[in-house]
Structure 1
Amino acid sequence: MPLRTEGYYMRPTVIIGLSDDSRCMQEEIFGPVVCVSVFESEGEAVDRANNTKYGLCASVWTSNVGVAHRVAHKLKVGTVWTNCWLVRDLDMPFGGMKESGVGREGTQESLQFFTQPKTICTKIV
C-alpha cells in the first residue's frame, strides 16, 4: 500500500513535567499522546487521576494483582485496563463517567439509553 501524503498525521507524543492543572493533564486528548507523571504513593496516583472533570478510561500498570484491583475500583472512569490498553470486547459495556459521556454503549447496558420504550393498548371491537 502506498504511503499517504495527504491529510493530517500526528506522531505519537510523550509529554512529561506538566503540573496537574495544565491543559494537557485536565482535558481528554484523542490522539497518540500520553502525559507521564511521577507519584510517590498509590493514594496520590488515584487522587491525581481522579482530579479531572473527565473519566473515560484509565490504564493501571503493575505486577501486583491486588494493587491492580484496588486501584481500578477507586478510579472514577468507565473502563480500566490493567497491563494493557484498548483491549475491548464489543459485548462489554463502554462509556465514561463525569463529563466523559452519558450512559453505556455495547451489550444490554445501552438498550435503555438508545431506545424509547412505548406501550400501545388496543381493545379489539
Structure 2
Amino acid sequence: MTIKYTSDHEWLQIEADGTATVGITEHAQDALGDVVFVDLPAVGTTFNAKDIAGVVESVKAAADVYMPLTGEITEVNETLRDDPALANTDPLGAGWFFKVKLANPADADALLDKTAYDDFVKNA
C-alpha cells in the first residue's frame, strides 16, 4: 500500500493490485469548511487524469474533485453520499470518495509523497 497526494489536494491509497482509494486531504476539507453535499462519479465510468470526477460542496464553496490518474471507477462511497460530513470528520478514512482501477499504476510515481505534499501546502 502506497499513499500519494496531488496538487489538487486529493490523496490516493494505492494497493498492490493497481486499485486506488481516492479522497480529499485534510487541507482541502479545512479550506472548504463543513461539507454538505458530494456528487460522486458513476461506477464503470472511465476518466483521464485531471478530468473532473465529482464535486464537493460546503457551506463556503463548491470544488471539483479531479481524477488523480487515468482509470475506471470501481466503487463509490455511498455512506459519504448519505453523510457528507464524513469528509470533514474522517477525510483520510471513512470520508473516501471513490475507488479506481488504475490504467497504469506506475503513473503514481509522478505524484507527491507525504513530505512533498506537506511542503507544497506550506509554500502555497
Q: One fold, TM greater than 0.5?
A: no
Structure showing the higher strand proportion among its residues? 2
TM-score range, shorter-chain basis? Answer: under 0.3
